[in-house]
Amino acid sequence: MIKKNWMYWLFFLALFLAPFYLTEFRLSLLGKFLCFAMIAIGISLIWGYTGILSLGHGVYFGLGAYCMAMYLKLEASGGRLPDFMEWSGVNQLPWFWKLFEHPIISISFAIIVPVLLAMFLSYFTFRNRIKGVYFSLLSQAIVVVFVTLFIGKQEWTGGTNGLTNFSTVFGFSLSSPLTQIVLYLLTVVLLLSMFLFSRGLTRNRFGRVLVAIRDSENRVRFLGFNPTTYKVFVYSLSAAFAGIAGAMFVLQVGLISPAMMGIIPSIEMVLWVAVGGRSSLIGAIIGAIVTNGAKSFFSENYPDIWLLFLGGLFIAVVLFLPNGLTGVYQSVRQRKKQGEVRANEASSHVLQRVSRF
């Protein structure tokens, strides 16, 4: 087991040791990418394993992020009204903001709120057997609804600017390097546990039912399983991952706005998984890191070309790499293996001939 998967462990070890060899700036960038990798694991579970393409994960990410950000905002305001509320003419803290004065409630809400929304949405759509493309487009509509709401209710959410200007978390300064390193390590731990949990899930019977749903949902139904339960569970699980990712993202980046949960980010999330390989969990993580690394490189150096590059990447991955980077790796390894087998056969053939003489 350990011998076979030494590459995974090496990968995570490299992530754990990153604070020793990366600059502060690069480390915070990597921390951000690892948050995205958490979402990617969830999307790989629902898309790669179960065959449900969700274009709505920006919302779950955003809800998790806003729950955390509301707490940070209240802590930064130090008992007074948050600044944007004063500007919008609100004199009293709305009742639901009061809940977020407590850190434990905020953190648990960062998971509960996305999960509840995902359960609600997916139960009703999957129960009515709305699936495939229809589900994708409906989940996209949810994104539009939430982005419109968050921008429109400026007095409660900060509008297009979102929530920003945080100072401390649990009394620790967010700008201090030590806090950032601790938060980074926490992100790696969370990512590793999500990865291990998802891997365990996909390797037992549960995972095989998911794959069966992807390949032929009706047959699964005829065999006596209820696909709705499985789909709702795995969809809500991925929403929980996205919510946690959102909370960790806010802690490390210090900003959340509706633009980060809109249609474009939601579709980009799918692209990360497609690039890495949709039915590979480690591929999803690598895809998120590679794509976002390329994004920050290109958008820093060639801001005009970035969209062309991203668009070309979508087309190229779909047409030429349906299994993403891990698919390439696997087919290369397979070809090498086949080559070895052929070589062995050839040599044994020669030996046989030789022995005949």
The binder of another protein chosen from 144, 223, 328, 346 (CB under 8 A): 144
| 243 Cβ contact partners less than 8 Å away, ≥ 6 residues apart | 60, 61, 63, 64, 67, 110, 111, 113, 114, 115
| Cα-based distances in Å from 205 to 81, 187, 284 | 51, 29, 22
Hey, what amino acid is at 245?
A: A
Question: Which residue's CB is nearer to another protein, number 254 or number 327?
Answer: 327
Question: Which residue's CB is nearer to another protein, number 300 or number 304?
Answer: 304
The binder of another protein chosen from 53, 213, 240, 245 (CB under 8 A): 53
Q: Does 263 bind another protein (CB under 8 A)?
A: yes
Q: Does 196 bind another protein (CB under 8 A)?
A: no
Taking the C-alpha atoms of residue 315 and residue 117, their distance in angstroms, rounded to an integer, is 32
The DSSP H or E segment spanning 331 is: helix 324-356
Task: Tell me the window of 95-103, 163-171, 203-211, 269-277 that interacts with another protein (CB under 8 A).
Answer: 269-277
Task: Tell me the window of 102-110, 145-153, 171-179, 346-354 that interacts with another protein (CB under 8 A).
Answer: 145-153
Question: Which residue's CB is nearer to another protein, number 28 or number 44?
Answer: 44
Of 242, 201, 229, whose CA–CA distance to 117 is shortest? 242
Output the smallest distance, CB 329 to another protein, in A: 21
Taking the C-alpha atoms of residue 193 and residue 191, their distance in angstroms, rounded to an integer, is 5
Q: Which two tokens stand for residue 238?
A: 């991925």
Output the smallest distance, CB 55 to another protein, in A: 8
B/e letters for 221-254, b = 16+ CB within 10 Å, e = fewer, are: eeeeeebbebbbbbbbbbbbbbbbbbbbbbbbbb
The binder of another protein chosen from 16, 124, 172, 297 (CB under 8 A): 124
Q: Are 68 and 303 in contact (CB under 8 A)?
A: no
Q: Does 151 bind another protein (CB under 8 A)?
A: yes
Q: Does 200 bind another protein (CB under 8 A)?
A: no
Q: Given the rule CB under 8 A, which residues bind another protein?
A: 53, 124-125, 128-130, 132-134, 136-138, 140-142, 144-145, 148-149, 151-153, 217-218, 263-264, 267, 270-271, 274, 304, 307-308, 310-315, 317-319, 322
